[in-house]
Structure 1
Amino acid sequence: MVLVLLSNSVAIGADFKIEKALWKAEKSLLVVKATADKGQRLRIENAYDSAQVLKESKLRKETLTARLRSPEQLPCRIRVVNLTTGREVEKDVMSSETKQTPEGCYPTSDSEPAVNKAPVANAGVDQQKQLQTGQTSLTVTLDGSRSSDPDGTVAEYIWSGSPDPADIVSPSITLGEGSHKLSLIVVDDEGESSASDSVLITVEAAATEPPPVNEAPVADAGANQNHQLSVGQTSLTVTLDGSGSADPDGSVASYQWDGIPNPEDTVLSDVALTEGSYEFTLMVSDDQGEMSVSDSVWITVNAASTEPPQTAAEAHASIVVYEGPSTCISCHEDQAEAMHGSVHYQQSGYTLNLTNDMTPFSSSGLPRAGERGDGAIGINTYCGSHLNSPRFTCAGCHVGNGRFPDSELPLDETARQAELSNIDCLMCHQDSYKRFPTGEFEPLEIVEMGADGKPDPNLPPIVRTGSQGIPVVDPVSLDFEFEPADANSTLVDLGGSPMMQDRVSAAQSVHATTRKSCLNCHAKAGGGDGTKRGDLSSALIDPAPSIDIHMSSGGENLSCADCHDAGGHRVKGRGLDLRPNDVAEHFTCESCHDQPHGDYSNRNGSSRDKHATRVACQTCHIPTYAKGVPTETNRDWEDPHFSAAACNGRGGWLPREDKALNLTPTYHWFDGTSQVYVLGEDLADYPVTVLEDGSDAITLGQPNGWVNTQNAKIYPMKEHTSKSAVHDASNSLIAHSTFEFFRTGSFDTAVQSALEQTGRSGDSYSVKTVHTFQTLNHGVEDSSAALECGACHASLSGGPLRMDLANDLGYGMKGNEAEVCTQCHENKGGMSFTKVHEKHVKDKGIDCSTCHEFSRPERGLNANVAQFVED
């Protein structure tokens, strides 16, 4: 395949400098940015204390950025050491607020002088030479240029050996056959000498056999290319690719291109072409000066189409190389900018409908679920928190390509493009898309299963290496990257199933979001298909009408975006157990179905549209949940089970998961706002729910609203229980490391890991049951399957009721029957609820507050009790 690159993609030497050394006191964040040539290795350190290394990395791009939050020692000055060239640059750290040296930085130039560190001699790599026929000696150049001084400069080079070399950085000496050991000592600018370092030069006798005949190299000009100009474009830049050329007994030393226009003689050569067909030829020479025969490539540039692309396939057919999300962003920057602020990318957002205290706050004054989009405040009844687990364990389903999102787009254009290119469009716009971490991996050790089926740490562990190990992330930013999981990815080494097409065809065939592209992630929340939500599973990709009439191709055939699209790549809708919102709008069924039954009456008790003002449509139209795919009802972290499929096939330990099918919801008032636990909060502020077995559970996700709350409605709910560790001293939850549990099967190890990472090693903890409510919004059935009135009203029921309206939902009377009735008349008794309700509400228009603890002012009933008192 020929790589087609833009003309500005050819590497240009970057200046070695520090672009930024900035202290952001309001975020307790030190940001250092340095530039150098790609491939060079840089180390960022404290200029006055080189033991404090902020970051060291080989440059994949021309910029190295270190972000250090709340450093134990804030440097006053930064040094960047180019470990490839030996060059160093320094820059003072500036406060973003005062533009001066930050207060409290250390050490300063006025501090106690540092003890001089000895230089390090490097006599170079050992060399092996061979004399030519008739030759008795040859000249060898020694190389001490890699010697260095950690806190100064090398001032003097002292070589010794036989013969004795000149005392310069790279002396030349004449050597005969044999082994020659030469030593080097260097002296720094403080007069301190290094330890000695040696180099061994071996000179072999001339070969007695004649040298082999050199074979000619083979030129490969690449595959033919077809391109099309865009509307208004008169020329484009095409890259000729000679990288397929080879030499069977050496290496290719030079490239010679020929054609019109005449390309540059490099392995990758850019040419600007207008409409037409062009032939270019390539000849290469090897390291012995032998030249190949020529090879040709044809480049065809077609005129711009006069018609705009009619389909997504036509619009994306010009993609011949997929270089990650940047390929999409080059044309869709506006869409990426809109997505940048979304919950899908940031993994957090404004918590407009959360009523418990939220910190930290954004610069706008609105509460946010975490800074930099990391959502680190979150914990629920299904998992611990990614706060104390490796990044890759939770990042897989968010649309970021592995790097932490910046909460705001950078102003610098280069940084801005890099940030937008972290938004992986294929996550939502390609049904078949899969991805896998790329880069370096470190070994993973998994505790082996014992004879009792439980983890046994005394047995030799299961060791995963290579791509079966753990992706290595940046030690400061915690960033890593994904790659498409096609047949060329490291996923294949793991034994996983790659996506059905290569990355280029996946990019060419992108499409609007579908149920499948959304459910690729949302159906598997909590670790498995249907596990978490109860009303979202793979069954909704194309459900039967009895599972969901809205999404069924035999019903309305709606996509997720038909209901949830809020415009601007934002989504409306929120379950009560979720913290952030993309938009402030409360998304309800009334958005499409306003009084759908056509029978509204403020007095008639059987009016369904009157019921709909206080009973959510879902209550009657989702009679059961977990249809087709079971959902989890309880998770027990103290009962581990080994799964060979865990962690993308690496294998690992999972908690016991109790699941069930076709469940009946519970019911609760919900006004669109809720209280959801935030890490660090005192659990004393959270309600306790009595479970069916009579035990208590702390409710982490609680809907707000009651019978007398304006806009509150009765909703169907899923309930879920689990176990969590509670820090005894603070009475707050501990975000146990889910990764350590997957690795060891020990809940205690997972908790201890979290305590250690948060500076609380050794603190005591208790294990308690936690609980949450979750709204059910999907799985709407046809009206013929809706609940009948008798499912909830005793006077109409022939069997058990779904809900206790009087005792659980606030519809009980405000006193005993005799007390309530005698407000207006003597207790007449003997009348059914239906007759009493019709007489008081339907016939006389008496407001609910006359007999109950709530009112219904929107129905225009009469709340004046005195008017009804009999003489």
Structure 2
Amino acid sequence: MDCLVCHDTTGTYKKAPPGAGMPAKDVDLKFVAQNVGHSSRASCGSCHFNGGGGDAIKHADLSRQLLTPDRNCDVHMGGYDFSCAECHKTRNHKIAGRSSSVPASEGAVSCRDCHSDTPHYCGSLLDHHLNKHCKTIDCNTCHSPVYAKCKPTKTWWDWSKAGDKKRKPKKDKYGQPDYHWKKGEFKWKESPKPTYAWYDGYMERVLMGQKVDIHAPVINLTDPVGSIKDPSSKITPFKIMKGVQAVDAENDYFLIPHLFPRNKEDKTAYWKNLDWEKAFTDGMQAVNLDYSGTFKWVETWMYWRLEHEVMPANMALSCVQCHESLKEEKTCNRCHQDNRDVDFKAIAQKGTDFSFMMSKGRDVSHLKDTTDYIDFKALGYEGDPIIHGGRFKKLPMGYGDKMPRE
């Protein structure tokens, strides 16, 4: 990666796809070099908005919409005009931050870097409980209740269907294509609810050449490490990128195809010859791995942690949107001595307004009036922790709904 990638201010600098990182021949390098400046959302986004195959493809919370977002799309960039470097601090040209699909080689970035471990600071009863939640729940679990709300993201990518030039792509309700002869069959989603998992900051990843169980119903290419029993793990939101990819049927590892033609004489690139056998043979030679000559299509999942598109505080999930046991409550006396001066409705029920999001065109009608939003049982709880207790202790006041009332 050269200097101009980050410091170009003209928007004209670009790489040649088969050029091994070299700039395209039609770039005016003198003009670009005479107009360098600080990095920007545009220069960072020229790569990162397109990570994973195109704009908002795998990165569900990164797209060109972040060049000029409104505050409900991303409160940091749209509300406070943050550049990427506000959070991704750079020292000696080492840039902190990374996707959950790659290791943190130059430092990690966390909401807590700016907001601390106790980010709710008004001193109210609600803030007290929210700060206790921060020991168990990642910030974006509440503050990013949906993802890809600025632009639809690809959620399914089936490479096994590629190669049919006669198939005409159809547009889905978001205006996105369901097919491309080069890459196969797709599904898209706008404003979906994340998948929640315990995460301690580490990911298990399938590396190139690593043996996998090719007979498993699903192979996780990335998988968050964590457990309900681990105090360092937090409930964290993810997008799961699902797809179908090829494995070597004898060597039990994933195959690397040669896709983009090197030149006009290229006889092995899939996007020119539509021959998987030739593409796998060439691709595996390039990475010095053996190809047995037989392959198999398998379903794969990748967990992508959601980091951006943080919503304003007043659009975070409310207590009742997660805790079904509080939905019919009128006071705080389930846990606290009754106090008529406390506005329970304002504390517990004022949260993500899906009706407002619907009015802005977001596809969230199915989320309106949702409770048990993060699905406690799927995370290993017996049920709502208010009734059944938390990870490491039972609540001391009684037995939830069986507790006597006045």
TM-score for both structures, normalised by structure 2: 0.72
User: In structure 2, how many angstroms separate the alpha carbons of the residues matched to 1:759 and 1:592?
Assistant: 44
Distance 1:526 1:580, change over 3 A: same
Deviations 1:505-533 (A, max 9, x none): 32222111111110011001122111120
Structure with bigger gyration radius: 1
8 Å CA contact retained: 1:677, 1:701: yes
- The equivalent of 1:520 in structure 2 is 46
- The equivalent of 1:849 in structure 2 is 392
SS in 2 for 1:557: coil
Find 2:87's aligned residue among 559, 563, 567: 563
SS in 1 for 2:160: strand
Deviations 1:657-685 (A, max 9, x none): 3222122111111111111111222214x
User: In structure 1, how many angstroms separate the alpha carbons of the residues matched to 2:275 and 2:197?
Assistant: 36
SS in 2 for 1:738: coil
Q: 2:97 is matched by which residue type in structure 1? A: G
- The equivalent of 1:733 in structure 2 is 254
Taking only aligned residues, the RMSD between alpha carbons, in angstroms, comes to 3.3
SS in 1 for 2:60: coil
Find 1:804's aligned residue among 361, 375, 379: 375
Structure 1 residue 653: Cα displacement: 2.2
Distance 1:715 1:428, change over 3 A: same
- The equivalent of 2:266 in structure 1 is none
Find 2:152's aligned residue among 603, 606, 630: 630
Structure 1 residue 752: Cα displacement: 4.0
User: In structure 2, how many angstroms separate the alpha carbons of the residues matched to 1:833 and 1:580?
Assistant: 33
The aligned runs of 1:195-274 (5 Å cut-off) are none
User: In structure 2, how many angstroms separate the alpha carbons of the residues matched to 1:761 and 1:505?
Assistant: 45
- The equivalent of 2:332 in structure 1 is none
Distance 1:634 1:747, change over 3 A: farther
User: In structure 2, how many angstroms separate the alpha carbons of the residues matched to 1:687 and 1:700?
Assistant: 15
Structure 1 residue 787: Cα displacement: 1.1
Find 2:105's aligned residue among 561, 577, 581: 581
Deviations 1:165-198 (A, max 9, x none): xxxxxxxxxxxxxxxxxxxxxxxxxxxxxxxxxx
User: In structure 2, how many angstroms separate the alpha carbons of the residues matched to 1:588 and 1:788?
Assistant: 22
Q: 1:612 is matched by which residue type in structure 2? A: C
User: In structure 1, how many angstroms separate the alpha carbons of the residues matched to 2:194 and 2:251?
Assistant: 34
The aligned runs of 1:111-130 (5 Å cut-off) are none
Q: 2:195 is matched by which residue type in structure 1? A: T
> Is the aligned partner of 1:533 residue 2:111?
no
- The equivalent of 1:89 in structure 2 is none
Identity of aligned pairs, percent? Answer: 27
User: In structure 1, how many angstroms separate the alpha carbons of the residues matched to 2:199 and 2:106?
Assistant: 19
8 Å CA contact retained: 1:717, 1:775: yes
User: In structure 2, how many angstroms separate the alpha carbons of the residues matched to 1:768 and 1:707?
Assistant: 30
- The equivalent of 1:482 in structure 2 is 23
> Is the aligned partner of 1:426 residue 2:7?
no
SS in 2 for 1:784: helix
Distance 1:597 1:745, change over 3 A: same
Deviations 1:816-865 (A, max 9, x none): xxxxxxxxxxxxxxxx974776xxxxxxxxx853559xxxxxxxx9xxxx
- The equivalent of 2:121 in structure 1 is 598
Q: Which runs of 5+ in 2 are unaligned?
A: 168-179, 261-268, 328-368, 397-406
Structure 1 residue 812: Cα displacement: 2.5
- The equivalent of 1:678 in structure 2 is 207
User: In structure 2, how many angstroms separate the alpha carbons of the residues matched to 1:634 and 1:769?
Assistant: 10
- The equivalent of 2:194 in structure 1 is 665
Distance 1:710 1:848, change over 3 A: closer
8 Å CA contact retained: 2:199, 2:234: yes
User: In structure 1, how many angstroms separate the alpha carbons of the residues matched to 2:24 and 2:291?
Assistant: 37
- The equivalent of 1:785 in structure 2 is 315
Q: 1:591 is matched by which residue type in structure 2? A: D
The aligned runs of 1:489-500 (5 Å cut-off) are none
Structure 1 residue 582: Cα displacement: 1.1
- The equivalent of 1:769 in structure 2 is 299
Distance 1:575 1:435, change over 3 A: closer
8 Å CA contact retained: 2:382, 2:388: no
Q: 1:485 is matched by which residue type in structure 2? A: D
8 Å CA contact retained: 1:551, 1:558: yes
- The equivalent of 1:720 in structure 2 is 241
- The equivalent of 2:361 in structure 1 is none
Distance 1:706 1:470, change over 3 A: closer
Distance 1:425 1:511, change over 3 A: same
- The equivalent of 1:609 in structure 2 is 131
User: In structure 2, how many angstroms separate the alpha carbons of the residues matched to 1:727 and 1:748?
Assistant: 11
Distance 1:760 1:804, change over 3 A: same
The aligned runs of 1:404-443 (5 Å cut-off) are 424-431=2-9, 432-437=11-16
- The equivalent of 2:352 in structure 1 is none
- The equivalent of 1:14 in structure 2 is none
Distance 1:803 1:481, change over 3 A: closer
Deviations 1:306-340 (A, max 9, x none): xxxxxxxxxxxxxxxxxxxxxxxxxxxxxxxxxxx
User: In structure 1, how many angstroms separate the alpha carbons of the residues matched to 2:129 and 2:21?
Assistant: 57
User: In structure 2, how many angstroms separate the alpha carbons of the residues matched to 1:550 and 1:522?
Assistant: 17
User: In structure 2, how many angstroms separate the alpha carbons of the residues matched to 1:747 and 1:760?
Assistant: 15
8 Å CA contact retained: 1:638, 1:746: no
Q: 2:98 is matched by which residue type in structure 1? A: R
User: In structure 1, how many angstroms separate the alpha carbons of the residues matched to 2:127 and 2:75?
Assistant: 28
User: In structure 2, how many angstroms separate the alpha carbons of the residues matched to 1:800 and 1:789?
Assistant: 9
User: In structure 2, how many angstroms separate the alpha carbons of the residues matched to 1:700 and 1:728?
Assistant: 17
User: In structure 1, how many angstroms separate the alpha carbons of the residues matched to 2:232 and 2:387?
Assistant: 28
User: In structure 1, how many angstroms separate the alpha carbons of the residues matched to 2:52 and 2:36?
Assistant: 27
Distance 1:687 1:669, change over 3 A: farther
SS in 1 for 2:77: coil
SS in 2 for 1:592: helix
TM-score for both structures, normalised by structure 1: 0.35
Aligned residues: 331
The aligned runs of 1:378-389 (5 Å cut-off) are none
8 Å CA contact retained: 1:576, 1:702: no
User: In structure 2, how many angstroms separate the alpha carbons of the residues matched to 1:848 and 1:800?
Assistant: 20
Kindly indicate whether structure 1 or structure 2 has the higher relative contact order, using CA contacts under 8 Å at least 6 residues apart.
2
The aligned runs of 1:20-59 (5 Å cut-off) are none
8 Å CA contact retained: 1:652, 1:743: no
User: In structure 2, how many angstroms separate the alpha carbons of the residues matched to 1:506 and 1:470?
Assistant: 21
Structure 1 residue 792: Cα displacement: 1.9
The aligned runs of 1:810-829 (5 Å cut-off) are 810-812=380-382
Distance 1:507 1:768, change over 3 A: same
SS in 2 for 1:771: strand
Instruction: Considering fraction of residues, name the structure with more strand.
Output: 1
Q: 2:13 is matched by which residue type in structure 1? A: K
Distance 1:752 1:507, change over 3 A: closer
Distance 1:638 1:611, change over 3 A: same
8 Å CA contact retained: 1:637, 1:747: no
Distance 1:754 1:517, change over 3 A: closer
SS in 1 for 2:192: coil
Q: Which runs of 5+ in 1 are unaligned?
A: 1-398, 400-423, 438-468, 472-478, 487-501, 644-650, 689-695, 814-831, 838-846, 853-860, 862-871
Q: 1:770 is matched by which residue type in structure 2? A: T
SS in 2 for 1:434: coil
